[in-house]
Amino acid sequence: MKTFIPGLSRRDVFTIGLVLLEVIIFSIVSENFLSSSNLRSVLRNATELSLVSIGMTIVILMGGIDISVGSALGVVAIIVGWLIQAEVHPLLIGLTAIVVGTTIGFINGSLITFGRIPDIIATLGMSNILRAAVFGMLGGRWITGLPPVFSPLVQGQLFGIPASIFVIFFFYLIFWLFLTFLPIGRHIYATGNSVEAAKLSGIDVRKTRIIGYMLLGSLVGFSSLLYVGRLGSVEITVGIDLPISAIAAVVIGGASVFGGRGSIIGTLAGVFFMAFMKNGLLLLGIPSLWERAVIGFLIILSVGIDLLINKRQAISKFLRIKTRQPQAGEA
């Protein structure tokens, strides 16, 4: 992708510009938007979305999709709630959450890779199974009054700065390095660009896909700790809007739903765009029904732009090939 600022693609800069424009507009129409208390609330509420969107970026870069992340977070959050009530050591609770989330990701990846089930069908089925598990595990009742075991990760402060900021930027730095410098990162991009070309270059596409879904699952598992720490409870509707919000953040951030194009930086900008949009609409008293309509519109618009970009690139490639072909009569 063409860049004119080191480390940032043109699409990254465009998304960052959208976030800045959004902040300016909401700060004009709502005097409370830029208040410190409101901005802290935005960051706290966006923590789980931020981490899950990293994993969703990896999956979408491979040309896949996962709509089971919300239900998976719900199941893991319930397990975390039970373990907290049983006074299990926090480190063991955290390890259990990550292992359960990773296992769900492994199952999804295996169904898609070895079972040859389309991503959306496999994860839709898994979503329904896990959502049924959420209802069954809760029995129609919320888990409430949980001790603040993991609250410092979200509610705490470090040097007067919300801890959630450090959590978000730590994970984004790690996964930016992962995708940029490690071979598996290049394999993920290559798999999304062309499966056949990736295989010919010696990449184990099956292994790469399963690792991608397992990484997403592990991030969902860790996010469940943040969810419980933020709310101190587990609701029966836990994670219900998470899949659509994560997908929206990733595609608004410039990732191609066809795979092979996107960035962690763009996703982070997309997450902030989503977080500020939800908060701004809430401050303006706009019903949540319209929030979902706006998210749906943004996804369609982003995918439409992606289609136009792909078509333009295909035409440009075709024209370059034509201009390189020798004319009739040339040696």
The 10 Å Cβ neighbour count of residue 41 is 15
Strands 157-158 and 161-162, how do they pair? antiparallel
Average pLDDT of every residue of the chain: 90
Is pTM, for the whole model, over 0.75?
yes
Residue 219 near residue 101 (C-beta atoms within 8 A): yes
How confident is the model at residue 3, as a pLDDT?
44
Cβ pair 220, 55 in contact under 8 A: yes
Distance from C-alpha of 241 to C-alpha of 292, rounded to nearest angstrom:
9
pLDDT for 324 beyond 90: no
Q: Do the Cβ atoms of 60 and 193 come closer than 8 Å?
A: no
Q: Are 224 and 78 in contact (CB under 8 A)?
A: no
- Whether the predicted pLDDT of 140 surpasses 90: no
At residue 313, the pLDDT reads 59
Which residue type does 8 have? L
Residue 317 or 203, more confident: 203
**Three-state DSSP class for residue 241:** coil
Place of tokens 């993920």: 188
According to the model, what pLDDT value does residue 331 have? 44
Quickly count: other Cβ atoms within 10 Å of residue 230's Cβ: 19
Query: H or E stretch including 157?
Result: strand 157-158
State mean pLDDT over 243-267: 93
- The pLDDT confidence band at residue 320, using thresholds 50, 70 and 90, is low
pLDDT tens, 40-66? 999 999 999 999 999 999 999 999 999
Domains of the chain: 10-324 (1.10.3470)
C-alpha angle 297-38-272 in degrees, rounded to nearest 5: 40
In the block, residue with structure tokens 């409101």: 38
